[in-house]
């Protein structure tokens, strides 16, 4: 069986762990579809939990489920034993375990970030040597970089689910007047049962790549309440599922076409450093574009899975005729990312559900009532996101850099917004400048996310003279020096 997997993996050009993951990942679509035919609320919870655990076992091995149980059970225990502080307790437990996973797996595999991969093995097939690894990779960053996969991504998604559930249960004790809109919407007044909790965490393999969703939505979906009430009109999921699958196929085809032309190894190739400035900068853009198609593929498959289950349905549009919305399943807007007008809009179109989680459970909760968020809240949120992704210098640098990138883009937007209405051409020029700034800084910044190591990140940034760090920093400083007045529209309204 392992030899057959190695043959198939070699044929399509991926590693055995990636093939195993992909087969289980794609299987989440039929598994989610058959959820619709499970009768009764309790059997649905059981089906969600068991199917998710089985897919994890087939993809990552039995030990993955044992590791998943740790934050899940500790989070549930905090809700049972100390509801008043269960949110913050689970936050530190979840991230603490995730960090411990990163460190211990790194020591086990590499002797603490040494480059040795002792899991690599070879086999002979028809005179050719096929290289593959043991059942799992143990550090997600290196696994992805080398074309592998591990259980870390699933643990990352579970961590966010466990934390949001505990925080919403904690919010159930608070007065509604003191809560923000998201807290009012998702707070839990009762403790979910253990089987409800397990079904929510592992639902049909949704822990593989998300999207992250709320416990309250999961319960209403299972119990046929809210937008899923049988008395309300229910849409067919098949067209939206087909659209997501076609998008996934296109994205994967583009990734396989581009990746041989724009390998990450080029950043350490002497040839790269012999190129001129503009060619190096354009290569950074193309390398980032190439990598994004892989994520678009993964998220399109997870979107199809959540849509076909029905969980992705979020209501109807106000148009005539009304159209179904599948916002709960959506994790990326491909055109929105590639044509994004401002860096501040990137969280709205890229890794949407995780960005929403960070806004609800980190960013907004760091802002005191009656005050406005500032650069501190943005930097803290991006730092949490970096730690969540992994303990690699490239991740830390990328997310700190992205905070600068977003702050700089907001400065340009404030200047643009303050221009009088009769300066339409200048406004359009400022908008284009923000678009060009965003494309440049995003291409520059994401190199760290891709190459991971400190040396490669600094070398690639230095190859374009740190332009993606210097320009955002200058814009942030200038934003404090050149403070635009209130927009012309606001002044007119005030005069009225």
User: Which residues are the active-site residues?
Assistant: 389
Contacts of residue 387, defined as CB under 8 A and 6 or more positions apart, other chains included, come to: 95, 98, 99, 396
Place of tokens 């309300």: 232
Instruction: Provide the token pair at 132.
Output: 């593959």
Strand pairing class (128-132; 315-316): unpaired
Look at the alpha carbons of 103, 105, 108, 111 in this order and tell me if their dihedral is positive or negative. Answer: negative
Q: Quick one: which of 415, 410, 345 has its CA closest to 375?
A: 410
| Polymer length of the chain | 496
- The helix/strand/coil state of 167 is helix
Distances (CA, A) of 238 to 235, 296, 328, 450: 9, 20, 16, 35
Q: Are 200 and 212 in contact (CB under 8 A)?
A: no
Cis link prior to 103 (omega < 30° from 0)?
Answer: no
From the DSSP assignment, how many helices (H) and strands (E) are in the chain? 22, 4
Q: Are 152 and 105 in contact (CB under 8 A)?
A: yes
Q: Quote the crossing angle between the two packed helices 152-171 and 62-81, to the nearest 10°.
A: 10
Instruction: Provide the token pair at 109.
Output: 């595999």
Classify each residue of 38-49 as buried b or exposed e, where b means 16 or more C-beta atoms within 10 Å of its C-beta: beeeeebbebbb
Q: Quick one: which of 345, 347, 353 has its CA closest to 329?
A: 353
Contacts of residue 413, defined as CB under 8 A and 6 or more positions apart, other chains included, come to: 342, 344, 434
Which helix (DSSP H) or strand (DSSP E) does residue 416 occupy? helix 393-418
């Amino acid at each position: 069986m392992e030899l057959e997997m190695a043959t198939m993996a070699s044929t399509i050009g991926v590693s055995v762990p990636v093939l195993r993951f992909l087969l289980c990942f794609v299987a989440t679509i039929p598994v989610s579809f058959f959820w619709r035919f499970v009768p009764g609320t309790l059997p649905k919870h059981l089906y969600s939990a068991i199917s998710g655990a089985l897919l994890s076992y087939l993809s990552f091995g039995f030990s993955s489920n044992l590791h998943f149980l740790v934050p899940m059970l500790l989070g549930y225990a905090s809700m049972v034993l100390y509801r008043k502080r269960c949110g913050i307790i689970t936050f530190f437990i979840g991230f603490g375990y995730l960090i411990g996973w990163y460190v211990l797996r790194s020591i086990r595999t590499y002797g603490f970030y040494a480059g040795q991969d002792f899991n690599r093995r070879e086999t002979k097939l028809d005179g050719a040597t096929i290289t593959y690894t043991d059942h799992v990779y143990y550090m997600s960053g290196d696994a992805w970089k080398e074309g592998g996969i591990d259980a870390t991504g699933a643990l990352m998604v579970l961590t966010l689910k466990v934390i949001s559930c505990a925080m919403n249960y904690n919010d159930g004790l608070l007065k509604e007047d003191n809560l923000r809109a998201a807290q009012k919407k998702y707070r839990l007044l009762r403790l979910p049962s253990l089987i409800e909790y397990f079904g929510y965490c592992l639902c049909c393999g949704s822990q593989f790549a998300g999207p992250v969703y709320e416990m309250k939505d999961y319960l209403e979906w299972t119990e046929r309440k809210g937008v899923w009430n049988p008395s309300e009109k229910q849409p067919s999921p098949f067209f939206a599922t087909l659209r997501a699958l076609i998008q996934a196929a296109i994205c994967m085809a583009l990734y396989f076409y581009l990746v041989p032309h724009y390998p990450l190894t080029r950043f350490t190739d002497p040839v790269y450093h012999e190129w001129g400035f503009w060619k190096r900068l354009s290569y950074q853009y193309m390398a980032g574009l190439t990598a994004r198609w892989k994520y678009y593929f993964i998220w399109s498959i997870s979107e199809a899975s959540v849509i076909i289950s029905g969980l992705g349905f979020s209501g109807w549009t106000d148009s005539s005729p009304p159209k179904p919305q599948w916002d709960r399943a959506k994790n990326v807007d491909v055109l929105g990312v590639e044509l994004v007008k401002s860096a501040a809009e990137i969280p709205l179109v890229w890794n949407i559900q995780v960005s929403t989680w960070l806004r609800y459970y980190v960013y907004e909760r760091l802002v005191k009532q009656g005050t406005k968020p500032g650069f501190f809240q943005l930097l803290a949120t991006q730092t949490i996101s970096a730690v969540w992704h992994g303990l690699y210098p490239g991740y830390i640098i990328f997310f700190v850099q992205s905070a600068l990138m977003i702050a700089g883009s907001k400065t340009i937007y404030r200047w643009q917004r303050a221009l009088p209405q009769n300066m339409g051409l200048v406004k359009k020029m400022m908008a284009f400048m923000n678009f060009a700034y965003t494309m440049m800084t995003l291409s520059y910044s994401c190199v760290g996310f891709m190459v991971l190591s400190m040396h490669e990140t600094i070398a690639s940034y230095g190859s374009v003279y740190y332009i993606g760090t210097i320009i955002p920093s200058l814009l942030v400083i200038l934003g404090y020096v050149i403070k635009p007045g209130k927009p012309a529209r606001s002044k007119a309204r005030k005069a009225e």
